[in-house]
Amino acid sequence: VAANSFGTVFRITTWGESHGKAIGCVVDGVPAGLEITDSEIQEKLNKRAPGRSRFVSPRKEKDQVEILSGTFHGVTTGAPICLLIRNEDHDSSKYEPIQEVLRPGHAHFTFLEKYGQFDWKGGGRASARETAARVAAGAIAQKFLKSFGIEVKATLKQVGSIKAKGILSVVTDTLTDELFCVTLEDEKEMKAELERILQEGDSIGGVVECTAFGVPCGLGDPVYEKIEAKLAFALMSLPAAKAFEIGHGFEAVFMQGSEHNDSFHLEDDKVTPMSNHAGGTLGGITTGKALVVRTHFKPTSSIKKEQKSCNHEGEERPFSLPEGSRHDPCVAVRAVPVCEAMCALVLADSLLMNRLVKIKY
């Protein structure tokens, strides 16, 4: 199961399985001198943790993080930072009766084809539990970015056909507690939709929007490492991610050049784009405007409804989740802090890359 690392200079390697003893992350390339504590990382992890609301998986994990290395008196030393999160709620006995049935929408089938085995207990590396390690690493990236005046904030933009009307315009805008919406009205509408989906025992897709404020002009490169290409790679590496957009994204197809082009003007003695239809990039390089990206997530694969499937021998077997098993009606809800972390990791890496290649500022 190759490719467990991400980033070039600010580089993370995640490890561990959903139902193993622990999961974690090694974060390499963090410059020395950054103040970071367990509790700052914990704060971010708590937003992703299961069991924090009726609309996310009831798995009871504290997701308690420990910094094992790379800091001295709460300050990074420049050495690799090892982060550990122990798994607590991993009773897999109820999955035993269905271990031979291929789970629709899960990696069971492709793992068996490719590796000849599948961790039916909790999905192993295919499980979204791995994203907790990304959030922990992302918390360090976010702290690093903040010292450069860059902040990333993600919101839930859409649940099924319910689109949020609220727009995140400044980084100080507060988000609702449960669904990370800009307004309570948006959260109310989305909750009603999620409630309907829960009653049906089904699931629904969603969209997460990430905005990075304070990004300087000049991050990213013009060809293979375009900033949007790096962000797309990062966000599309998330489980259940099905599409990526930047700026107007899919809508840009319906626009005309005269509408979509960002014209330039002088603002505070600096030439800058007047608008931000492009979503903060031009030629693969950040313009100094906010970066705005959206990730579209498919409906959660695990649903309460019975589905058609077969066993490893191809014999027809209906698939039903065991009684009392956990599922999220919409994975996009828990993906909000994860998207934020992935954007932060890309920007921290790009910032350090930029310092390597630029001779003169």
For residue 237, the minimal CB distance to ligand FMN (Å) is 9
Q: In terms of DSSP bridges, do strands 65-67 and 5-6 run parallel, antiparallel, or are they unpaired?
A: unpaired
Contacts (Cβ under 8 Å, ≥6 apart) of 97: 322
Contacts (Cβ under 8 Å, ≥6 apart) of 319: 98, 101, 102, 103, 104, 306, 307, 308, 309
**What is the per-residue binding string for ligand FMN in 91-130, x denoting contact by CB under 6 A?**
---------------xx------------------xxx--
Looking at beta carbons only, is 194 or 215 nearer to ligand FMN? 194
Is the Cβ–Cβ distance between 333 and 206 less than 8 Å?
yes
Looking at beta carbons only, is 142 or 300 nearer to ligand FMN? 300
Q: Under the criterion CB under 6 A, does residue 328 sit at the interface with ligand FMN? A: yes
Place of tokens 């890359």: 353
Radius of gyration for the alpha carbons in the chain, expressed in angstroms and rounded: 21
- Residue from 49, 153, 327, 329 binding ligand FMN (CB under 6 A): 327
Q: Under the criterion CB under 6 A, does residue 49 sit at the interface with ligand FMN? A: no
Q: Under the criterion CB under 6 A, does residue 289 sit at the interface with ligand FMN? A: no
- Residue from 190, 238, 347, 353 binding ligand FMN (CB under 6 A): 238
Question: Under rule CB under 6 A, which residues in 174-203 are in contact with ligand FMN?
Answer: none
Count of residues engaged in binding ligand FMN, rule: CB under 6 A: 20
Q: Under the criterion CB under 6 A, does residue 239 sit at the interface with ligand FMN? A: yes
Place of tokens 């974060």: 27
For residue 335, the minimal CB distance to ligand FMN (Å) is 4
- Residue from 13, 57, 281, 295 binding ligand FMN (CB under 6 A): 57
For residue 351, the minimal CB distance to ligand FMN (Å) is 25
Q: Under the criterion CB under 6 A, does residue 234 sit at the interface with ligand FMN? A: no
Looking at beta carbons only, is 287 or 301 nearer to ligand FMN? 301
For residue 105, the minimal CB distance to ligand FMN (Å) is 6
Would you give the distance in Å from CA 41 to the centre of its chain?
A: 15
Residues that bind ligand FMN (CB under 6 A): 57, 106-107, 126-128, 131, 238-240, 298, 300-302, 327-328, 331, 334-335, 338
